[in-house]
Chain A
Amino acid sequence: MAAFDEMSGFDGTTRDAYAKLEAWLKNTPPEEFATRRSQADVFFRRIGITFAVYGDEQSTERLIPFDIIPRVITGPEWSVLDRGLRQRVTALNMFLKDIYGPKECLRAGIIPEDLIYRNAGYCLQMINQPVPHDLYVHIAGIDVVRVDGDTFYVLEDNARTPSGVSYMLENREVMLRLFPELFAQHRVAPVENYPDALLATLRSLAPRTASRDPNVVLLTPGQFNSAFYEHSFLADKLGIELVEGSDLFVRDEIVYMRTTQGPKRVDVIYRRIDDDYIDPLAFRADSVLGVPGLIGAYKAGNVTLTNAVGTGVSDDKAVYSYMPEIVRFYTGEEPILKNVPTHRCREPDALKYVLDHLPELVVKEVNGSGGYGMLVGPHASKAQIETFRKKLKTEPEGFIAQPTLALSTCPTFVASGVAPRHVDLRPFVLTGSDGIRCVPGGLTRVALKDGSLVVNSSQGGGTKDTWVLDA
């Protein structure tokens, strides 16, 4: 099945949105592109945008490849996406409030009970525990793919600590520097207001008891974390302190940070540490990244954690498969964004189907992320398929399977010139007590290997600037 190319469709006819880009690609001399690409590379390396790849001893800091050909989304396409994303995140927040509270969706039989109760991401400590402003997912990264001119699918919901937004911002900065004339020909919606939107969102989430000028901080696991660059970048753009666990302490259920002028109270923590590591007293006792007593302060309502604790349950890919029902149940509307049809291997019929069709399916661990632990049937060796067959038989509830989608492609620079490569999109949706904000665009990830469908930066994917055209 041929993939839909976002520049030339299915049949090679250039789509309107790409007309000027195509002319630019055709008329710019190759040396010019080579120069620009090396300038972009120098720029990224010098500002220190790097990404650590786990399991790669050689390089703790590596550059994510950046492709200079932008990916274009039209205004009308974006407006559908925007409405769909808002709807989905609204439903996610209502769902989380429900499963940690009255559990109406379980009583109504929308989703099987054990999928919640036996879910590793379901946090017992959060049951019947109010959270500030009743919101759980304040920063969501919803991964979206498209397969033709009209259809977008949500591939997964990232409701824990989604990363990548710094690349969205820096990619745009680099493009503005390198190709000002291209921007003059297109009306590209800006993304540079994202930090302001994020700060406004975070401030709106402060506990009601906090002062009118709440102290917001970003909590990082530290500079050896793969996304550290992003943490420091965001803290800088937001003008908030970048703290590590050891910079914070809790006294009488109130969180303070250690400053050169003594302790200062903290109201909102944009944490980029997973639940398990955030408080050694509440979760993993061996964690040195977290803050002892933080969960106590959180439960006492003295500090807001963004995202809330326990949101991982909705990242689960088996729960994902119920999202259309979840959206309908809580919003009373039809879902605007489609889900990829998903076989839940926990169901015997589905498992049988999956085992019979492994070479054509994508199999994912229900709680995996980052492109780790998945099988792409059409690209897998016999041995890999057999390994997964065994895994599926031993622990079927640990997996889901989906048809291999023909992800859309975008023109991309590769060794041999410009060629189509598969892409996805991660837009970022912010939810504060004062509403939802969604900056037009997001992070486009591109699988640089010919035919590859895995776009994750930890697996050799690259990124592109994403242009939403303003009408």
Chain B
Amino acid sequence: MLSRTADSLYWVSRYVERAEYLARILEATTRLSNLPSSYGGAASEWESCVKTAGCEELFGQHHQTANEANVHDFLCFSPENPSSIRNCIEIARANARAVRTALTYEMWDALNSAWLELKKYDGRKLTRDDFGRFIEFVKTLSLTFDGSAYRTMLRSDAYWFSRLGVYVERADNTARILDVKYHVLLPETERVGGSLDYFQWTTILREVSALTAYHWVYRESIKPWLVADLLIFNRQMPRSFASCYENISRFLDALGETYGRQGPSQRMARKTLSTLANRKMGDIYDNGLHEFITEFIDDNNRLGSTISEQYLV
């Protein structure tokens, strides 16, 4: 297939995934910030939300302090933020339109309908109820788009490139949450803060829609190291590093097999996957959780560029 087509498919998926991620962190933060301060609710949550969204610097250029209204606007609608939800949907739709023929009708319809509906939401005029509906709308878009891809696409290179976009983005997103919140996940002895962290932990789990999953997997009360374990090593958890890399590796292998040629991206993905398979939370704490996460983010970015060099240009 055309390199440009593969590139667009990959980025359509990345942007849809990113839009959903932003919606989830906004939803979780709104919930946390509404708690009484004695339970950990604090205005500073909005700053952490901006960090988790990965646009701290840009936000700082436009706002002095972070609050609910300006973060909602910046992350959802602001034209100044290239990664706002609105921009994500616009870019995804523009990419999709450029490669219409490579998408199934259902995928196009999901994205195009959402793009048409997006015009209804005027950021500054949204009530809290409207905002809730907007978040639901974004989550529904990603579920519909993803489900359409899963149910209607031929299992060929087009599908694999589109899936790669989902998982590379998702790995990055999960890692960013951990990068910002790692300090609340340190083992008890090192932890700063107190039982207030409980609400931080549940917020993290909510951000990756894993609160219920946590209970099913561990069957015990929420412990920071188990939250970290779930998000990093648990292969059953669809947003964990391990699960993302299992998928990335699988789809890259499918490409390698079909094209009859392996390359640097296959090797990189396999290496990360085996690291994730062979390490335990204990080692990671010994060597530094933050360092581990930062390294993962860098590796994941490198894999993105390698996929791009190998296939997309």
Give A contacts to B, CB under 8 Å.
45-48, 222-223, 228, 232-233, 235-236, 241-244, 246-247, 257-261
Contact = CB atoms under 8 A, between A and B. Distances in A.
Given A236-B101, A260-B259, A46 B113 contact: yes
Interface stretch (B76-84, B92-100, B176-184, B231-239): B92-100
B101 A242 contact: yes
Contact of A258 (B2, B99, B161): B2
A426 to B, nearest CB: 24
B302 interface: no
Contact of B100 (A236, A257, A259, A261): A236
Nearest to B95: A223
A47 B100 CA distance: 10
A199 to B, nearest CB: 14
B3 interface: yes
26 contacts: A46-B109, A48-B97, A48-B112, A222-B98, A223-B94, A228-B97, A232-B97, A233-B100, A236-B100, A241-B2, A242-B101, A243-B2, A244-B4, A247-B2, A247-B4, A258-B2, A259-B2, A260-B1, A260-B2, A260-B3, A260-B6, A260-B157, A260-B161, A260-B311, A260-B312, A261-B259
Nearest to B313: A258
A258 B105 CA distance: 25
B101 A235 contact: yes
Tell me the dominant secondary structure on chain A's binding face: mixed
B112 A223 contact: no
Given A258-B2, A259-B1, A260-B6, A232 B100 contact: yes
Nearest to B310: A260
Contacts of B6: 260
Nearest to A48: B112
Given A258-B3, A258-B4, 18 more contacts: A45-B116, A46-B109, A46-B113, A48-B100, A223-B94, A223-B97, A232-B97, A232-B101, A241-B1, A241-B2, A243-B2, A246-B4, A247-B2, A257-B2, A259-B2, A260-B161, A260-B311, A261-B259
A42 B35 CA distance: 44
Contacts of A222: 98
Interface residues of B, number: 26
Closest 3 CB pairs of A and B: A236-B101, A232-B100, A260-B311
Nearest to B157: A260
B108 interface: yes
Interface of B: 1-6, 94, 97-101, 105, 108-109, 112-113, 116, 157, 161, 255, 259, 261, 311-313
Contacts of A260: 1-3, 6, 157, 161, 255, 259, 311-312
B312 A46 contact: no
A261 B112 CA distance: 30
A257 B94 CA distance: 22
Nearest to A217: B2
B112 A46 contact: yes
Contacts of B255: 260
Contacts of B112: 46, 48
A63 to B, nearest CB: 12
A258 B157 CA distance: 15
A217 to B, nearest CB: 9
A47 B259 CA distance: 32
B3 A247 contact: yes
A413 B1 CA distance: 44
Contacts of B4: 243-244, 246-247, 258
B111 to A, nearest CB: 10
A206 B59 CA distance: 55
Contacts of A241: 1-2, 5
A259 B255 CA distance: 13
A206 B252 CA distance: 35
A232 B103 CA distance: 11
A243 B8 CA distance: 13
A48 B4 CA distance: 21
Contacts of A246: 4
A451 B259 CA distance: 60
Contacts of A258: 2-4, 313
B3 A259 contact: yes
Nearest to A264: B2
A247 B313 CA distance: 9
A257 B313 CA distance: 11
B91 to A, nearest CB: 12
B116 to A, nearest CB: 7
Contacts of A232: 97, 100-101
A86 to B, nearest CB: 31
Query: Which of A45, A236, A260 counts the most chain B CB atoms within 10 A?
Result: A260
A48 B3 contact: no
Nearest to B260: A261
A289 to B, nearest CB: 14
B259 A48 contact: no
A222 B94 CA distance: 11
A45 B113 CA distance: 9
B120 to A, nearest CB: 15
Contacts of B261: 261
A183 B270 CA distance: 58
Given A232-B101, A260-B311, A48 B108 contact: yes
Contacts of A244: 4
Contacts of A257: 2
Nearest to A220: B98
Query: Which of A47, A242, A243 counts the most chain B CB atoms within 10 A?
Result: A242
A259 B6 CA distance: 9
Contacts of B109: 46
A471 to B, nearest CB: 35
Contacts of B100: 48, 232-233, 236
Contacts of B101: 232, 235-236, 242
A267 B236 CA distance: 48
A257 B1 CA distance: 9
A74 B116 CA distance: 41
